[in-house]
Amino acid sequence: MRARRSRPYGLLALPAILTLTTLSAPAAATPGTDRPAAPRAQQPNIVYVLADDFGWTSLSSPRTNQGNPSDFYETPALERIAQEGVSFDNAYTSVNCTPTRAALLTGLYAPRPENNIYLVGDLDRGGDGTLLKGPAQGRADGATVLPPEAVTVGERLQGAGYTTGYLGKFHVTRTPEAITEQHGFDENIGGQGSGDPGAYHAKDGQFGPKIGPALDAFAGDYTRAYVDENIRPYSKGVDPAALDALVGTDKHVTDALADATIDFVERNKQDRFFAFLSPYAVHTPVGDAQGRADLLAKYKAKTPGRSTSNPAYGALVEGLDQSVARLVRHLRTTPDPRNPGHPLADNTVVVFTADNGGVETFTDNGPLRGQKGELREGGIRVPLIAWSANPSLVDGGRIDHTPVYAADHHATVAALAGAAPAARPVDGVSLERLFADGRARLDRQSLYWHLPGYLIAGGRDQRPQSVVRSGRWKLVHNYEDRSWELYDLATDIGEARDLAGERPDQVRRLGADLVRWLDAVDAPLATLREGREPLRLTVTGTTYADGHATVRTGETVVVRPGDEVPLVLPAATRR
């Protein structure tokens, strides 16, 4: 691994300055007619829900996906909080699980040394026949886990006096113990290093080895009382006999995680709490054995829609939605000891989102192009919803079109909690005021992605690329052939028409922005694979490689096996 330059983040000459402006203070509003308006909480409770592989169009609400909901999968609870809260339809993540989780936990882009996670597994998921070879990622032994020195959002909230709980999939840790010992969570219920649950149902009162053992406390079989209280009220279109048949059967991990989260809230409601719920749903395995039986029967009997209609996946989706419904109901109906006369919902912000785009086998990402594992829009756009019963926390009933990124969630949660400034500034910017005021705006020029490796499998063809989105424009650089692609997402959300040849000035403008960012974060690049012929490039323009941006005039650059293959931004042609 090449040496990384040490740069204090606050001193970077980045082209995008992250600031937030508000035109005026929001008008007072009353959250309900049966109680006085709740005051603006200084340190509200926070419930953050991170679904797994839950794509942009996997939910039935049109509000997070520009009018492109699923017409088969049903998510009534998410529809309701999307209607009552703030929905973001330009919310972005990384291409799959670990890079997104690392970014939102640390608030840092992937090239930062405290992150350094770009992809699940390694960066050579394309075989030995590829032109380039991805660099090492993660830690020195290749493990894609957070280093002990990374400062997570959990640690920052602990510093602000919050009790922090992690419930569900973690994936960026060596051991379950590290979640509480190194990464800022007072409790870890169900999390460890695994990327999937193995199996969704408990067996003999225990979940499988891929699920952290603390969740086994909630793994008991379904009882009549449990079904009547926690499942029947949220069921729609399910045969009552199918609900009765659940009694005595194995608990589903999605239900167990909802139980554990509600239990965590109950035990900590006397003081401020941060509950990070990370369901294993809707990650594979997906099949008849994985969905809850009542929901599986419902979707098998349902007429398929125009979009992808997989009954087993539908059962997982709606089961996840029911867990959100239970959480919101608990917040609405539980008195708040810190706020007499009000329920917890008046002093709590709920955020729902996902860690990457959907898998095309199970969900239709259309009209977006691509899927999980790719830097196309279908791989990195996800739902994002913020909800609270207190309009001074979330001024609801809105759709916000601001492009936002996973690292922003770290900054947002820290800002909501009133956490002290980070010792080293994060890359994310707080969305707190976007939640609270529809007139607030982010003055941010660009979002960036960098993936210096391969993921060629399962219908995916992701090769080394760097990407910048600025306003309506998305620019993609391909390292294998040093080509550029330019898309106008305002008119071509499906990335069908490459405008790079028609808009060279726009390519150079955004390309220069991308080069500055790569240089600022000292991003590593893929190298020419051993056994390949050297590349000879005659360059008039700017190159980025080996941690440096260099302006060249007619220079010949020779790239030998083992050398980084540079980004090349040609200079403007004189007329």
* Domain locations along the chain: 40-123+137-439, 464-570
Sign of CA dihedral 250, 275, 81, 371: negative
CA–CA distance, 14 with 11 (Å, rounded to integer): 9
Cα R_g (the chain), whole angstroms: 24
Task: Write down the pLDDT at residue 18.
Answer: 33
Specify the pairing of strand 381-387 against strand 86-92.
antiparallel
- The DSSP output letter for 252 is B
Q: Is 546 left (phi over 0), alpha (psi -120 to 50) or beta?
A: left
- Which residue type does 126 have? G
- Mean pLDDT in runs of 10 for the chain (575 residues)? 50 34 32 49 92 96 97 98 98 98 98 96 94 96 95 98 98 97 98 97 97 98 98 97 98 98 98 98 98 98 96 98 98 97 98 97 95 98 98 97 98 98 95 96 94 96 98 98 98 98 98 98 98 97 97 97 98 74
Strands (E), 279-430: 348-354, 381-387, 398-400, 404-405
CA distance 280 to 32: 34
Active site residue 450: no
Q: What is the distance between the alpha carbons of residues 206 and 209, in angstroms, rounded to a whole number?
A: 9
For 467, the enclosing helix (H) or strand (E) is strand 465-470
pLDDT for the residue numbered 42:
74
Tokens of 48: 């953050």
For domain 40-123+137-439, give its CATH number from 3.40.720.10, 3.20.20.150, 3.20.10.10, 3.40.190.10: 3.40.720.10
Find all residues with CB under 8 Å of 147, minimum gap 6, and list them.
114, 139
Long-range Cβ contact pairs of 245-248 (< 8 A, separation 24 or more): 245/293, 245/294, 246/222, 246/292, 246/293, 246/294, 247/222, 247/223, 248/221, 248/222, 248/223
Q: Is 450 strand, coil or helix?
A: strand
Q: Which CATH number is associated with domain 464-570?
A: 3.30.1120.10
What is the per-residue burial (b if ≥16 Cβ within 10 Å, else e) of 278-301?
Answer: bbbbbbbebeeebbbbbbbbbbee
Q: Decide: 457 and 43 in contact? Cβ < 8 Å.
A: no
Side chain identity, residue 274: F
User: Burial, 573: exposed, middle or buried (Cβ in 10 Å; 0-12, 13-18, 19+)?
Assistant: exposed
Q: Which helix (H) or strand (E) holds 158?
A: helix 153-159
Q: Comparing C-alpha atoms, which of 48, 65, 47, 46 is closest to residue 56? A: 65
Please report the pLDDT score of residue 2 as a whole number: 58
**473, β-bridge pairs:** 470, 488
Give the separation between CA 80 and CA 387, rounded to whole angstroms: 10
Q: Give the separation between CA 353 and CA 70, rounded to whole angstroms.
A: 16
Which residues make beta-bridge pairs with 465? 451, 478
Whether residue 201 lies in the annotated active site: no
* Residue in the structure block whose two tokens are 């490796």: 453
pTM above 0.95, yes or no: no
Closest CA relative to residue 342, chosen from 39, 18, 11, 3: 39
Secondary structure class of 311 (helix, strand, coil): helix
Give CA–CA dist 140/2, Å, rounded. Answer: 12
**pLDDT value, residue 10:** 43
Question: Cα separation of 436 and 186, whole Å?
Answer: 29
Strand extents, DSSP E, 68-157: 86-92, 124-125, 132-133
Residues facing residue 46 across a β-bridge: 274, 349
Q: How far apart (Å, rounded) are the C-alpha atoms in residues 297 and 480?
A: 48
CB-count burial class (<10 Å; 0-12, 13-18, 19+) for 423:
exposed
Bridge partners (DSSP) listed for residue 447:
469
Using alpha carbons, list the distances in angstroms from residue 237 to 243, 314, 334: 11, 13, 28
Which of 97, 183, 342, 450 is an active site residue?
Answer: 97
DSSP string of 504-547, one letter each residue: HHHHHHHHHHHHHHHHHHT----EEPTTSPPEEEEEEEEEEETT
Chain centroid to Cα 571, Å, comes to 36
Q: Which residues of 515-549 are buried (b: 16+ CB within 10 A; e: fewer)?
A: bbbbbbbbbbbbbbbeebeebeeebebbbbbebeb
Peptide bond into 147 cis (omega under 30): no
